[in-house]
Amino acid sequence: MASRAVTELENTKDCSQAGKALFCPSHPTEELRLFCEQCDQPVCQNCVIDRHRQHLYDFTGNVIRRHGDSLREVLKNTQEHMDTLKDVLSQIDDKGSAIHSRAEAVATEISLFASGYVKAIEEHRDRLLKQLEDLKVQKENLLHLQKARLQQLLLDMKTGVEFTERLLTSGSDLEILITKGAVASRLAKLNSIAYNTRPSVDDGIQFCPKKRAGQCGGYEVFGVVLNKAVDPSRCTLHGEGLHSACQNQLASFTLLCNDFMGERMVRGGEAVQVTIIHKDKRDCAVKPTVCDNNDGTYHISYSPEEAGLYACCVFVKGQHVQGSPFTLTVKTKFREHQGVFHCCTFCSSGGQKAARCACGGTMPGGYQGCGHGYGHKGHPGCPHWSCCGQLKKSSECLGGPPSDLSQKSLLRTVTL
């Protein structure tokens, strides 16, 4: 009934009858003068007698103030929500405009960035191609120069050989004896001329697209042209674990890659392969670990489980490096040091004259042990083991002290 009343009110609000009496829909001849509190709706006198008999009701004039105030409060809240919604809608419109403007500005930035980036890449490309062309011309010039020199040398040798052959086949004994010295000297001089047995330059030109190439036009670019190529015959091996190791202990050595001129490579990425196989037990092999240091060096580590002699091969690009294959000796047990690692016997013994050291050094003034840079032969001021003179703290003991050392002096040095 409330919705119907609202509809009727909406339909009559602009008419002249809007302020006149309203009649009950159920009793058309009765005017709506009462208000049922329980049903919250206007009723007529007949409704109160009939359907609303037990309901609490009152005249509309008596309840209009209370219900009007309640409606005005709801109206006020609704108007506040409307104002909030209008403000949000306004903010949405403003934010939409801001997003549109910002998107256009960012699109401009992206276009400028992309244009600059493309320009920087093109400049970097041109620079790389120029560098490559200069490198190609440089290598070709060196080859041409070497070729010209070798061709001249070959021509001189050919002339000398032909002359010598004619002399030996057609010359008289006297002519041979007269010209022998000059001819032999000429040939010897030609033979003594030093020349490379291979081309003076290589074709080791490479492009590394992932390598950083610095800045170009304010942008970081990638890709460099490398001139060097590794030469396995020039690569070298270094380290304590190269020829000896101990059973069940980690050992290592280092591979240094060089180019055909013997100059150090400054990048990694080479195909390095290492095999370590027992010489007496062919089925016994050690699996080494190869670590690329990305600077032209490779760290090879291994841990042999059995003692004996091993054949160690190191390959770069499928070729043996310098010194490969080599023999690796694996000892059964690591010999521990029995002495102390000290700088000198003078310090470790507290200044005792009779204290000695296995390094054999002595000190002026009647001191039987080594001192700070005095008679410290082979160990000038360096820390070393008192039992064998080894300079490295993590080294294996090489043996006991010299035989002329008394047991008393040795014990004193060791315990201190």
Q: What mean pLDDT comes out for the span 41-55?
A: 88
Other Cβ atoms less than 10 A from the Cβ of 128: the count is 16
Q: Across the chain, which distance is largest between two alpha carbons, in Å?
A: 169
Query: pLDDT band at 78, cuts 50/70/90?
Result: very high
What tokens appear for 339 in the block? 């002495």
- 245, 230, 249: which is closest to 297 by C-alpha? 230
Mean pLDDT of all residues in 270-274: 89
pLDDT at 159 over 60: yes
Q: At residue 408, does pLDDT exceed 70?
A: no
| pLDDT interval class at 319 (50, 70, 90) | confident
Instruction: Give residue 248's pLDDT band: very low, low, confident or very high (50, 70, 90).
Output: confident
Rounded CA-CA distance 353/350 in Å is 9
- Give yes or no for a contact between 402 and 358, defined as CB atoms under 8 angstroms apart: yes
* Contact present, 237 and 298 (Cβ < 8 Å): no
The pLDDT confidence band at residue 93, using thresholds 50, 70 and 90, is very high
Distance of CA 334 to the CA centre of its chain: 36
pLDDT of residue 19: 61
Q: How confident is the model at residue 411 (pLDDT cuts 50, 70, 90)?
A: very low
pLDDT bracket for residue 415 (50, 70, 90): very low
pLDDT at position 116: 94
Look at 313 and 397; give whichever has higher pLDDT: 313
Window from 190-199, 243-252, 288-297, 394-403 with minimum mean pLDDT:
394-403
pLDDT at residue 246, as a whole number: 85
Q: How confident is the model at residue 413 (pLDDT cuts 50, 70, 90)?
A: very low
Average pLDDT of the chain to the nearest whole number: 83
Instruction: Please give the angle made by the CA atoms of 162, 163 and 167, to the nearest 5 degrees.
Output: 115
Structure tokens belonging to residue 134: 């200069």
Q: Which two tokens stand for residue 86?
A: 């209008």
- Amino acid identity, residue 170? S
The two structure tokens encoding residue 293: 């240091």
**Domains delineated in the chain:** 232-331 (2.60.40.10), 336-416 (no CATH)
Is pLDDT at 402 greater than 50 in this prediction?
Answer: no
The predicted structure's pLDDT at residue 206: 80
Q: What is the pLDDT of residue 352?
A: 83
What confidence tier does 7 reach under pLDDT thresholds 50, 70, 90? low
How much is the pTM? Answer: 0.43
pLDDT of residue 133: 93
pLDDT score, position 349 = 80
Residue 139 clears pLDDT 80, i.e. is over it: yes
What pLDDT, on a 0 to 100 scale, did the predictor assign at position 233? 85
Say if residue 184's pLDDT is above 50: yes
CA distance 121 to 118: 5
pLDDT reading at 16 higher than 80: no
